[in-house]
Amino acid sequence: MPGSAGRNGERRRVVLTGIGPVSPVGIGLDDFWGALVSGRSGISRIERFDTSDLPVHIAGEVKPFAPEDWVTPKEAKRTDRATHFAVAASKLAWKDAGEPSVDRARTGVFLSTGIGGLGSLLEQHRVFLDRGADRVSPFMVPMLMPNASAGHVAMAFGFTGPNECIVTACAAGAHAVGEAAMAIRDGMAEVCIAGGTEATILPLTVAGFAQMHALSRNPEPSTASRPFDRDRDGFVLSEGACCLVLEEAERAVGRGARIYAEVAGYGASADAYHITAPEPEGLGAIQAMLACLEDAGELPDAVDYVNAHGTSTQLNDAAETKAIKKALGDHAYRVAVSSTKSMTGHMLGAAGAVEAAVAALAIREGIIPPTVNLENPGDECDLDYVPKQARRTEVRLALSNSFGFGGQNAVLALRRFEP
């Protein structure tokens, strides 16, 4: 992976020029960033269905959200909520990038998800049981397949370049951004829409994650997600999407694009340890972080900020803290680390893209969003987690960590762009 070069033998630089968030804390960049900087939580009691028979009653819902604002009424009926989010996020990102003129054959889509169109599958299963096989929708399969969102985003713009769907649980969004950057570096594309989408706030998924003891049972929505805190008791399930526009740097500079940051490095690894629990010493995470820094041509002491995976689970937060300390050495204690999942909740396959956007915004704006709800750091959590309030400080190099069920790890390095 390190040292990837274009087809002319030179490594092509990749920059981020558009951001499109659809999240529990806001739709669109201004609302999204404003909420994070002010420390405002997007977690609330679930409104889309009755939770009285469920052990967990809170989540990070995207509201209000009208699919017809982003797709036609006919398309809204024939596509899953995850696709609605993805198309909305891609259109927001493209507009934010200035709607650049592109060669459609040289423009790709790399869009991830953790679970795909599960809501559509469950709805059609209900139809099958209640009304019979001949009433199942002919659109069921294209609604539920994980790659549907990537296909619909490409169709929305007419992009015929590389189109991929990456399904690596909670690391998927970061993998999608990293793989898109590699495609531009290697000359497969000049421009890519990259990101992730997820729409899994459903009774079955709430029940399933709760049975794993993965979800917080805290009844107070705004304080339930508390990464690195002594009293953390699980993550908060959320939904949404985030798309980024990535471009070859010379092209972006040439058209006068606003550049948020350079996508400078990408590292990936596998724990090969357990299907859901992280490796206790953070070995896979360390490997990914060091590979990312090598790919970026940076040393550990150059890192200014880490947007942590920070799920608010006992095992993840302890293992990630160990990984940051081992990867960055003594410098870890001088680095600002925060988890924006304390406000957004865990958006699963979209989380990595959301958090890469946060890292880029921290660089451009010189503001690090806080880890809200951090009252008493856990026994193994002894880093600077930027508790409660945002911090104004210069950020040149930021890492964004994403780790998923299955032991998949992805780390992105975002750097201030210097032509």
- The string of pLDDT tens digits covering residues 63-112 is 999 999 999 999 999 999 999 999 999 999 999 999 999 999 999 999 99
Q: Is there a single domain that holds both residue 207 and residue 82?
A: yes
Which of the residues 84, 152, 175, 309 is marked catalytic? 309
364 in any annotated domain? yes
Q: Is there a single domain that holds both residue 96 and residue 225?
A: yes
SS3 helix, strand, coil % of the chain, rounded to 5? Answer: 40, 20, 40
Rounded CA gap, 353 and 178, in Å?
A: 10
5 in any annotated domain? no
Quickly state the pLDDT bin for 10 (edges 50, 70, 90): confident
370-414: per-residue pLDDT in tens?
A: 999 999 999 999 999 999 999 999 999 999 999 999 999 999 999
What residue has token string 């898109």?
180
Q: Is there a single domain that holds both residue 219 and residue 131?
A: yes
Q: Is there a single domain that holds both residue 18 and residue 136?
A: yes
Query: Using an 8 Å Cβ cutoff, are 196 and 351 in contact?
Result: yes
Query: Using an 8 Å Cβ cutoff, are 5 and 11 in contact?
Result: yes
60 in any annotated domain? yes
> Who has greater pLDDT, 353 or 8?
353
pLDDT of residue 9: 56
Q: Which is it for the CA torsion 222, 227, 233, 236, positive or negative?
A: positive
Rounded CA gap, 239 and 346, in Å?
A: 8
Among 193, 222, 254, the domain boundary falls at 254
CB neighbours of 98 closer than 8 A, spacing ≥ 6? Answer: 17, 18, 255, 257, 258
pLDDT of residue 100: 97
Residue numbers of the domain that contains 305: 266-415
Q: Is there a single domain that holds both residue 244 and residue 163?
A: yes
How many folded domains does the chain comprise?
2
pLDDT at 169 > cutoff 90: yes
Which of the residues 84, 152, 175, 346 is marked catalytic? 346
Q: Is there a single domain that holds both residue 46 and residue 126?
A: yes
262-310: per-residue pLDDT in tens?
A: 999 999 999 999 999 999 999 999 999 999 999 999 999 999 999 999 9
pLDDT of residue 1: 41
Among 196, 221, 254, the domain boundary falls at 254
CA distances to 68, 169, 195, 340 from 346, in Å: 25, 11, 15, 9
Structure tokens at 125: 């299963």
109 in any annotated domain? yes
Query: Using an 8 Å Cβ cutoff, are 324 and 383 in contact?
Result: yes
pLDDT at 336 > cutoff 90: yes
Which of the residues 84, 152, 165, 170 is marked catalytic? 170
What residue has token string 């193994």?
380
310 in any annotated domain? yes
b (16+ CB within 10 A) / e for 285-302: bbbbbbbbbbbbebebee
Q: Is there a single domain that holds both residue 199 and residue 67?
A: yes
45-69: per-residue pLDDT in tens?
A: 999 999 999 999 999 999 999 999 9
Q: Is there a single domain that holds both residue 196 and residue 55?
A: yes
Tell me what the mean pLDDT of segment 26-44 comes to.
98
β partners of residue 191 = 107, 247
Q: Is there a single domain that holds both residue 184 and residue 322?
A: no
7 in any annotated domain? no
- Look at residues 316, 299, 305 and name the one whose alpha carbon lies nearest to residue 232: 316
Structure tokens at 35: 């909420």
175 in any annotated domain? yes
CA distances to 80, 107, 119 from 405, in Å: 23, 30, 20
288: three-class secondary structure by DSSP: helix
Q: Is there a single domain that holds both residue 159 and residue 103?
A: yes
- Look at residues 190, 194, 116, 118 and name the one whose alpha carbon lies nearest to residue 153: 194
Query: Using an 8 Å Cβ cutoff, are 331 and 301 in contact?
Result: yes
> What is the CB neighbour count within 10 angstroms for residue 39?
17
Question: CATH no. for residue 340?
Answer: 3.40.47.10
State the average pLDDT for the chain. Answer: 97
pLDDT at 6 > cutoff 90: no
Q: Is there a single domain that holds both residue 384 and residue 305?
A: yes
Tell me what the mean pLDDT of segment 180-194 comes to.
98
- In the residue annotation, 170 being an active-site residue is answered as yes
- Rounded to 5°, angle at Cα 189 from 184 and 194: 70
Q: Is there a single domain that holds both residue 118 and residue 168?
A: yes
Tell me what the mean pLDDT of segment 186-190 comes to.
97
pLDDT of residue 11: 86
8 in any annotated domain? no
